[in-house]
Amino acid sequence: MQIYDLSLLLYQIGIHLHVSVWRCVLLVAVHQLTQRKGSWIWW
């Protein structure tokens, strides 16, 4: 059972890192678009 718990923990950490990486990528992409077309996109 310990091996299963460890793999589950690593799986959750992997998902969290994946989401964080994509969030950073989206932020950079939005930043590039706003700089390219001017500052008309603000949330």
pLDDT tens string 6-39 = 899 999 999 989 899 999 999 999 888 888 765 5
| pLDDT at res. 12 | 92
What is the spatial distance between Cα 40 and Cα 14, in angstroms, rounded to a whole number? 35
| pLDDT at res. 38 | 58
What is the spatial distance between Cα 8 and Cα 24, in angstroms, rounded to a whole number? 24
| pLDDT at res. 43 | 47
Residue 6, Cβ density class (10 Å: 0-12 exposed, 13-18 middle, ≥19 buried): exposed
Which tops the pLDDT comparison, 43 or 21?
21
Q: Which tokens go with 39? A: 């500052």
| 41, 34 contact by CB (below 8 A) | yes
